[in-house]
Amino acid sequence: MILDDTSASIYTALNGGTALTALLAGTTSIYDQQAPDTVTLPYVVFSHQGGGPDNIAPVNIESNLWYVRAYSATSAKAASAILTQIDLLLHRKALSITGATTFWCNREENIKTVENLANGGKIWSAGGIYRIRTAAT
């Protein structure tokens, strides 16, 4: 299915970025949908947010939105530095997706948040919504 194949492609692109993984707690610090409760910050999470078939041509063209974000316990600046590396790997790049040709992968929205923890700590997040458009091969 296109969502599973796109998920695998996003993971491969991010995990292959040595400048990105150098900023994370480890090369396994990239997660699909949700990070486990026990992981160490900083890390990256990506998840499908919506989209589907365009239904405008005989070929199956999909337009899906993916939210890719970095989490840091250090600062908003640290989360943004991780997002910069994410963007270098995804924005305007041709992802290699099984069974599809990517003809559009662009960041369309920026999202920056902070979460206040019960213990007084904070977790900063910086991310973006990426539109990935594909045509079935």
CA distance 127 to 113: 9
What residues make up the domain containing 14?
2-136
Burial of 132 (C-beta count, 10 Å sphere; 0-12/13-18/19+): buried
pLDDT reported for residue 28? 85
Mean pLDDT, the chain, as a whole number? 96
- 0.85 exceeded by the pTM? yes
What pLDDT digit, counting tens, does each position of 75-85 carry? 999 999 999 99
CATH number of the structural domain spanning residue 124: 3.30.2000.30
Q: Under DSSP, is residue 71 helix (H, G, I), strand (E, B) or coil?
A: strand
Q: Is the pLDDT of residue 48 over 90?
A: yes
Instruction: Provide the domain count of the chain.
Output: 1
